[in-house]
Structure 1
């Protein structure tokens, strides 16, 4: 899949040949749906500026009594946000039906590309919010990511640049819509085909609030998109990346050299987890010295040389990279634990916790509930004897992280500026099971924290 990295002259030429968008006439439909060519019974989740989620669907202005009742529903939060002074647009990235991981990877990279382009001129004065599209009746894997773009100036340049941006993408292109109100104040979305697209029919559908589902709509997709339950599912994702990212094949070759279903040796295996700047690396090294243990790190050095490459990829690819790193380090754990205790700086828990917190939009209470299968350790991954989670208060983290000058992942940068994201990562850590995490307060002096960690390890690892 090829993208146009810079719009430049392409947009200028494109703008010369297109006319301003015309709002189409109302299209009558019998039931609430997205336009037929885009799939029926689509529901949407919009993340508001306060991180609350609002749910809606699209409905035609039909004479059916049930449809009329749907049209009567209102949600002030939705209308206040989408009808704020200026203009709001929606972009939804489609996943081709039946395309499996290939379609999800394509959609993820396209969404990633759009986010980058929308941070450039002329969109810099616009604000972006997360949008999800899903169908409750579809199998897992059908949730589509999107963006709500708010242009406070309602500038025609933005409208035309959005069309140019989408035309620059290979089909199937994102779906582009514009929100508007009628004379009575009701909220509508106009969805149109781009010039040169298949068909010319345009749609105008009423935005209708819907009830919040029991689970966040992304939760069913997690095992096939970011929290892979086994090596087989992880490989499926990476195999689709080999033609896009040359280093993906190198990592798969390393995985193939590892023994499968490895077993732990007679010495204990200890994992130390924690957010960035909790003192995790220092504590891990000191504890390894105290126990005469072998120190390991995930991802291991043989693949960490490519970490920056995969950290710049969408979540589905980035998480597959970290997951494969876990299976590679598991092979090293199996060998090392026959010789001495093993101390590991991060392992599966961090891979899963960051993935869950990244994918679940909104407030922390939208995370998968306690005891959900997504928190369970993969059955084919070597399991440690104990996992310790270091925690510090936010103020201490900020003080420790300033001036470090180290490379940070996007997620670690997000931890610094986004309190809600940090809370979601910590909650996800604490909900991990089989094994769960032993929480260790890492606020005291380093020596005290190290001693506390050693005490917890010796209490739970009788072989030491």
Structure 2
């Protein structure tokens, strides 16, 4: 394991944020070679899928042509990302996408239980696995992505640093990877912490990382600050998911996106309770 951690540290420079497909793949391949007790056939399939992804998953990798916007929604668990993603996709007649892709939900808990070097390689790799289907879909419809690379970056840093020890604003760690396509629009959703934590508790499915976020205000603050320092996300306070959709639609209209749907009415927004 010491050799694996040395490899990972050399690649992410102690930040636990991998900046290329090659970097996270090297760590996952090295993990596979250790034949650890928890590693199974599906983990091997995941590595093979990542290996077979096109080398650079960017717009330049695909045929030129007019495509629809790719919109990413980011934020901590419990802020309403999934409901907002679903409602926005429905309004726009678009497609929902999620990272990590649901096809790998069976092995996600296995990787989540590992140390940061391994778990972050899994989450980073998932961004690349999801990217081709996101880009392909954008040629026919709006694509709304529930979390993408910014979450991987923010949570990797929140597990390692505090707000006072984060790499400075403008550091290269916050830059979107050059071999991964960027979304056209990004939004950071947030709510009052009481509302967020109540939603998460009522769902009853906190994972270990979310439990830490719920208990540690410093970790939440660090993740939020890391999101901000990417400078890729427009912040939106989310009274409820319908209000969030209306704010996003207004933002898209302001940015020149045409033929947008009618927003939710005031009565429709008022129907939705915070939790």
TM-score (norm 2): 0.84
Deviation at 1:102, TM superposition (A): 5.4
Kept after mapping to 1: 8 A contact 2:75/2:188: yes
Higher relative contact order by CA 8 Å / sep ≥ 6: 1 or 2?
2
Superimposed CA distance per residue, residues 198-235 of structure 1 (whole angstroms, 9 cap, x where no aligned partner): xxxxxxxxxxxxxxxxxxxxx9422xxx2111111111
> Over residues 32-80 of structure 1, what are the superposed CA-to-partner deviations in whole Å (9 max), with x where a residue is unaligned?
xxxxxxxxxxxxxxxxxxxxxxxxxxxxxxxxxxxxxxxxxxxxxxxxx
Does 1:221 pair with 2:24?
Answer: no
**Do structure 1's residue 453 and structure 2's residue 254 form an aligned pair?**
no
Cα distance change, pair 382–463 in 1 and its aligned pair in 2 (3 A):
farther
Encode CA deviations 1:335-369: one digit per residue, 9 max, x unaligned: 11111110000000001100001012xx4111111
| Secondary structure of the corresponding residue to residue 136 of structure 2 | helix
Q: Which protein shows a greater Rg?
A: 1
Residues 1:271 and 2:72 aligned together:
yes
Unmatched segments (≥5 aa) in structure 2: 60-65, 260-275
- Structure 1 residues 7-26: aligned runs within 5 Å: none
Cα distance in structure 1, aligned partners of 2:256 and 2:154: 25
Displacement of 1:402: 2.3
Decide which structure has greater strand share: 1
Q: 1:310 to 1:291 in 2, by over 3 A?
A: same
Of residues 222, 225, 229 in structure 2, which corresponds to 1:431?
229
- The answer as to 2:88 corresponding to 1:287 is yes
Instruction: Find out whether 1:236 has 2:37 as its counterpart.
Output: no
Counterpart contact for 2:21–2:128, Cα < 8 Å: yes
SS of the residue corresponding to residue 241 of structure 1 reads helix
Per-residue CA deviation, residues 303-331 of structure 1 (Å, 9 max, x unaligned), is: 22211111111111111101111001101
**In the alignment, structure 1 residue 311 sits paired with structure 2 residue 112:** yes
4+ residue segments displaced more than 6 Å? none
Shift of residue 461, structure 1, vs aligned partner: 5.7
Shift of residue 446 of structure 1? 3.4
Residues 5-35 of structure 1, C-alpha deviation per residue, up to 9 Å, x if partnerless?
xxxxxxxxxxxxxxxxxxxxxxxxxxxxxxx
Aligned to 1:324: 125
RMSD (Å), alpha carbons:
2.1
- Per the alignment, do residues 448 and 293 of structure 1 end up closer, same or farther by CA in structure 2, a change over 3 Å counting? same
Could you tell me which residue of structure 2 aligns to residue 372 of structure 1? Answer: 171
Q: TM-score, normalised by structure 1?
A: 0.51
Structure 1: gaps of 5 or more residues: 2-94, 106-139, 143-218
Q: How many residues end up aligned between the 2 structures?
A: 248
1:300 corresponds in structure 2 to: 101
Distance change (3 Å), C-alpha of 1:258 and 1:104: closer
The range that moved more, 324-333 or 258-267, is 258-267
Q: Report deviation, 1:260.
A: 3.1
Instruction: Tell whether the 8 Å contact from 1:268 to 1:463 is kept in structure 2 after alignment.
Output: no
Richer in helix (by share): 2
